[in-house]
Structure 1
Amino acid sequence: MDKTYITSPIYYVNDIPHIGHAYTTILCDMLKKFYWILGHDVLLLTGTDEHGQKIEQSAKKHHQSPQDYTDKISEKFRQIWNEFKIDYDIFIRTTNEEHCKSVQKAFEIMYAKGDIYKGEYEGYYCISCETFFTQTQLNENNTCPDCGKPTDLMKEESYFFALSKYQERLLQWYEQCPDCILPQYRKNEVLRFVQEGLNDLSITRTSFEWGVPLLPNPQRNDSKSHVMYVWLDALLSYVSAIGYGQETESSKMAYWENATHMVGKDILRFHAVYWPAFLMSLELPLPKHIYAHGWWTKDGAKMSKSIGNVVNPKEVADVYGLETLRYFLAREMPFGQDGDFSQKSLIERINADLSNDMGNLMNRLIGMSEKYFTLRIDSHKVKTYFADEIKQIDTILESVKQKMQTMQPSRYLEELWKTFSLANSYITHYEPWKLIKQDEEKTMALLALLANILARSSFYLYPVMPESATKIAQALGFEISPQNYQKFITEGHLLESFTIQKIPPLFPKIQSPLLVENTTQDTQTTNHQEAKDETENIVNLIDIKDFAKIDIRIGTISECKAVEKSQKLYKLLVDIGADKPRQIVSGIAQYYTPEELLGKQICLIVNLKPAKLMGLISEGMILASKDENGLSLLSIDKPRINGSKIS
């Protein structure tokens, strides 16, 4: 079994996790699940970077010790990854004793080899970025070229790593390993940086104490106490976490032979230049891949706490669902480029991709299989009638696989969604509601084709949306596992005869934003006054007692038929959790097909007096909204038990 090691950056503990942290970590979790499905033995590491002058200053500002300060924020990262169900195997903290010992040992090895020497460093230092810059690299007024904050001219005794010694070896590595850094244009940026010439790197500091101290060594005769430069300390966490430098070296070091780092573009240089040079010095294998992604903006603007537009990933997940957030982050941003977060885009993805394409396909399959075959599905004749369609789907899925292997998650999902779109198009083309009257065997084969498309696609859906993929698999009578991937994808088997399990709609449509955006006090005051003025213009005001008279319940449409001699009416049976379904006659035939309505959860007024329409009794009213764009049924953002009351 192939061993694979995937790492997120270890996150700097200067603030709570934001949407960028979530994006990176979700991508790592996605990669782990993808390679697990393929049969790899995968380790996933995440954690926190806790040393440095910036942390020391922040702790002092909060009247805490650096250790207490880092304990508190590190726990916030661990907590959110647990809530986000990130399947990490190791959570490393750079304040761990074993990590510190590993870093000290690595320093001594590089020092003994002659790759570390003592000197004096003078340069401009950015505390925020924990980075030194030359005068020529600075912006105007000696501000940091990366974050724009002021830098300090510093002169101190320092140990240097002989980075320039490894320039040619780095260039050889970039040439010999075409996909060691992706996307390719990011690799080209690194290549140009190294070709311009590398300066030796200052790797210790004496002006603060919060860091890994050097081991005592009489040969060095230090005039001051040195602590490790934060990047040497932090990068070594990738190997210290799996046993490097420990007295009894862990068997987990075998995973290092196939390591992949996921990083933001702002820290690519540290991972693609400094880190491989350190590894060369330590005579350790180099990472197989370094993937560098872009940054997130909010509604087209850079996120900033001062203007209040920072996206809290937990708030988004709590309101829209974790699965939805995972899909949106992976799909919306082409990997390597910057992406923009907006509720409008999120809702469009939910309604178009998740509800219309994937969710609707599952609903239609359940509805038709129940109506025509009492939920029984048999794949016996699929290849007899639909061999070309199966080949077409398999060709797409092979492309899907390649997109993940070259770290193109957005393209991966774009390709995967072609299978759902094709499956829906097969329904439109073959018209099973007509076909069943002519050829029952072929109709069964068509429904089985749809089931097998969903089954095969669910293996590739799993890395991004594990809970949704699992629900689909359970409904179709199988389990998501490497063994079943081998069976259904690699060997091409079809599902055996089974009874499909009815499940609630996976992704009901969302009509309006669910998350309240941050606004200024002035805007809030204005909106409040506008709302007050508008309310005073409403004539038929009611109080809460009037509203309490209306009994609105959640129901699932279990049957839908056109009413004879009517162009507008459907006769619906709606399950509201009672002994028998409610019969509803509703004028929505011009806006929905029966297949779109089957399995859909709707809002239903259940205490209206029964009415007779076209000779049929209607026992309630479905709630809907209509404007110049047409009619839309009111729905809920998450599936609920039939009969649940709306208040």
Structure 2
Amino acid sequence: MSKRFYITTAIDYVNGQPHLGHAYEKIVADVIARGRRSLGQEVFFLTGLDEHGQKVQRSAQAEGKPAQVYCDELAEVWLQFVRKLGISNDDFIRTTQPRHKAVVQALLRKLHDRGDLYKAPYRGWYSWKEETFLTDKDRRPDGTFDPMWGEVTELVEDNWFFRMSRYQSWLIEYIEAHPDFVHPPTRRNEVLSFLRSRPLEDLCISRPASRLSWGIPIPFDPDYVNYVWFDALTNYFSVPAAQGDPAALAALKGYYEPPDGNLARLELWPADIHVIGKDIVRFHAIYWPIMLHAAGIEPPRQVLVHGWWQKDGQKMSKTTGNVVDPVAVIDEWGVDAFRYYVLRELDIGPDGNWTDAGFKARYSAELANALGNLVHRTLSMLHRYRKGVVPPPHNELEPDAARVAAEVRSCLEQNRLQDALISIWSLITRANQYIDHTTPFKLAKDPAQAARLDQILYNLVETVRVVAVLLWPFLPTTATRIHAQLGLQGEPNRWTEAAWGRLPAGHTVQTPEVLFPRKEG
């Protein structure tokens, strides 16, 4: 048994609505997962939902529903969203699942036995809207709290704490010794700056069950439920444990047994990549590795941090209507057009800006005209001049295809998704220019040029086939449609097929169909 490449997204809060940021994060993780599969790696891709907390409890009560029923209904919305985006996840975790609760409670028991959890009074200003205690740093200059926090009241109560402060020095040394742990480097530097500038406080990890009943009970103190951190973050570890991962089972020996009938025994931990947004870096790059280290568990290998989206240069807001609805865009333009725009427009790391005009421009110029036109022209000429039959192999464009394939492979291995698309489109541009320069439609009129026309047609149709293989991690539906138009079976999902010359002479291609219909206006 060998370790699978294990990639996760952050889990989404079930009480919210899917938006552009959620879509982008899932698509980024999906491309990385598909890319690794294409390169021959076994992959396990996890996404899911965070379903506990005060907001869910209150919303369910307001609708007169049991909290679990309320979550089940919303979970279906999120599952449909994942399917809409064409996401190839292997599992979908919900924090209300028994398999997750068992791991959370096992982790808490182990840390309690190790002396890393203690009970103490907690006094603080509490935001009911955001379900979090605030500090003086959250106050405005006049001493008040921003309205974004909603109602803020002072609260004093006993709670359970995690001794996070005792591991600060360890974490600084760990991040310094593992420069790729937080990526891109700007985020790593932010984390280190934070850790070096102030002492870490111990982490409050519970709420009284009398106030918040919708949560996982603290196993050694049932008057309290687990709050946020050891629930939500543990999802990344609870799935490997439930899948029988040897590292997870060894770490929780004596505290946890996988579900009956578990035969998977998948080797997943440590996670290779957690894909997250910049707003939750502290939780994933500070809280999470310390939680794991305290329990004797290896930290994940990388926290990959993406930026936020704006629309038309402004923060998105439902109030002003300045939003992008991914589902509406996909319904109108197709899922691959949406996937292409967000991946091509925004590199992993910086913030991005969605504009409807920019989306339409990329759709027209890069998808419909460049890619769509190349495929349609190539197959149309092959049908017109050779009855759809592939001529003998020729390698005039092989150096270009090989160079781009090498570039794209390197980009996939380094999670440089935007650069990979730029490279693929350089090959598409090269092929379109090749048509313009070689003028096969003129050569077809001269019988003496038949051999040269064969060479040109082979180079074009083989380039189209290679492009389909390179595109598959990014635009799987489009790549598979191109593959089918070439008369080839299955998906172009194996990187080895990007090698030149795999299309044999005598093979018959299908009639071309429009990949990206042109839109008016």
- What TM-score comes out, normalization by structure 1 length? 0.73
Q: Is contact 1:142-1:151 (8 Å) kept?
A: no
CA distance in 1 between partners of 2:399 and 2:175 (Å): 38
Who is 2:509 aligned against? 500
- Displacement of 1:148 in angstroms is 5.3
CA RMSD across the alignment: 2.4
Q: Deviations over 1:96-134 (max 9, x none)?
A: 122112111100111111222222222333344444332
Does 1:432 pair with 2:444? no
User: What is the aligned partner in structure 2 of residue 635 from structure 1?
Assistant: none
Instruction: List per-residue Cα deviations over 1:291-334 (Å, max 9, x = no partner).
Output: 11122222222222222233222111111111211111211222
Question: What is the deviation of 1:212?
Answer: 0.8
User: What is the one-letter code of the residue matched to 1:211?
Assistant: G
Amino acid paired to 1:336: G
Corresponding residue for residue 463 of structure 2: 453
Give the SS at the match of 2:10. strand
Kindly indicate whether the alpha-carbon contact (under 8 Å) linking 1:111 and 1:117 is maintained by their aligned counterparts in 2: yes
Residues 1:488 and 2:489 are matched in the alignment: no
**Residue equivalent to 2:70:** 69
Q: Distance in 2 between matches of 1:24 and 1:434?
A: 47
Please tell me the residue identity of whatever aligns with 2:379. I
Contact 2:36–2:412 (CA under 8 A) maintained in structure 1: no
- Any idea what the Cα deviations from partners look like across 1:64-121, whole Å, max 9, x if unmatched? 3322222221221012223333222211111112211211110011111122222222
Aligned match of 1:369: 382
CA distance in 2, matches of 1:174, 1:23: 27
Structure 1 residues without counterparts, runs of 5 or longer = 218-223, 513-647
Which amino acid in the other structure matches residue 440 of structure 2? P
Rg larger in structure: 1
Name the CA distance, whole Å, in 1 between partners of 2:404 and 2:150. 48
User: Which of the residues 213, 216, 219 maps onto 1:215?
Assistant: 219
**Sequence identity percentage:** 34
Q: How many Å separate the matches in 2 of 1:324 and 1:332?
A: 12
Distance 1:210 1:420, change over 3 A: same
Residue from 308, 314, 317 that aligns with 1:295: 308
Structure 1 window deviating more from structure 2 (39-48 vs 334-343): it is 334-343
Distance change in 2, residues 1:333/1:148 (3 Å):
farther
Q: CA deviation at 1:140?
A: 4.3
Q: 1:38 to 1:316 in 2, by over 3 A?
A: same
Q: Quick check: 1:295–1:339 contact (8 Å CA) kept in 2?
A: yes
Superposed CA offset, 1:608-628 (max 9, x none): xxxxxxxxxxxxxxxxxxxxx
Deviation at residue 508 of structure 1 after TM alignment: 2.0
Distance 1:233 1:472, change over 3 A: same
Match of 1:201 in 2: 203
The match for 1:418 is 426
Contact 1:126–1:144, Cα closer than 8 Å, also in 2 = no
**Which residue of 382, 399, 423 corresponds with 1:391?**
399
Deviation at 1:54?
Answer: 2.2
Name the CA shift for 1:440/1:484 in 2 (closer, same or farther; >3 Å).
farther
| Cα 1:442–1:141 shift into 2, 3 Å | farther
Q: Does 1:473 align with 2:510?
A: no
Deviations for 1:202-222, whole angstroms, at most 9, x for unmatched residues? Answer: 1111242221111136xxxxx
Letter in structure 2 aligned against 1:475: Q
Q: Could you tell me how far apart the structure 1 residues matched to 2:8 and 2:112 are?
A: 27
Change (3 A) 1:24 1:146: farther
> What is residue 94 of structure 1 aligned with on the other side?
95
Match of 2:232 in 1: 234
Mean Cα displacement is larger for which, 138-147 or 2-11? 138-147
Change (3 A) 1:116 1:2: closer
What's the offset of the Cα at 1:44?
Answer: 1.5
Structure with higher RCO (Cα < 8 A, 6+ apart): 2
Query: 2:353 pairs with 340, 351, 354, which one?
Result: 340
User: Is the CA contact (8 Å cut-off) linking 1:239 and 1:253 kept in structure 2?
Assistant: no
> Structure 2: any 5+ residue segments left out of the alignment?
243-247
Per-residue CA distance 1:579-634 (angstroms, 9 max, x = gap): xxxxxxxxxxxxxxxxxxxxxxxxxxxxxxxxxxxxxxxxxxxxxxxxxxxxxxxx
Structure 1, 277-286 or 60-69: larger mean CA deviation: 60-69
Q: After the TM superposition, which residues 80-91 of structure 1 pair with which residues of structure 2 at under 5 Å, given as runs? A: 80-91=81-92
Contact 1:8 1:261 in 2 (8 A): yes
> What letter matches 1:23 in structure 2?
Y
Contact in 2 for aligned 1:143/1:150 (Cα 8 Å): no
Aligned length, in residue pairs? 499
Q: Write the distance in 2 (CA, Å) between the matches of 1:462 and 1:418.
A: 16
Q: CA shift at 1:442, angstroms?
A: 2.4
SS at match of 1:192: helix
How many Å apart are 1:189 and its aligned residue? 1.2
Instruction: Name whichever structure is richer in strand by fraction.
Output: 1
Q: 2: distance between equivalents of 1:144 and 1:367?
A: 65
More helix by share: 2
Among 285, 299, 305, the alignment partner of 1:272 is: 285
What is the rounded CA distance, in whole Å, between the counterparts of 2:493 and 2:475 in structure 1?
19
Look up the SS of the partner of 2:200 in the other structure.
Answer: coil
Residues 428-481 of structure 1 deviation map (CA, whole Å, 9 limit, x = unaligned): 222222344353222212221122222222122111211110111122243466
Q: Does 1:157 align with 2:166?
A: no
Q: Any conservation in 1 of the 2:480–2:492 contact (CA below 8 Å)?
A: no
Summarize the Cα distance change of 1:483–1:234 in structure 2 as closer, same or farther, 3 Å threshold. Answer: closer
5 Å matches for 1:108-127? 108-127=109-128
Residues of 2 paired with 1:144 and 1:476: CA distance?
62
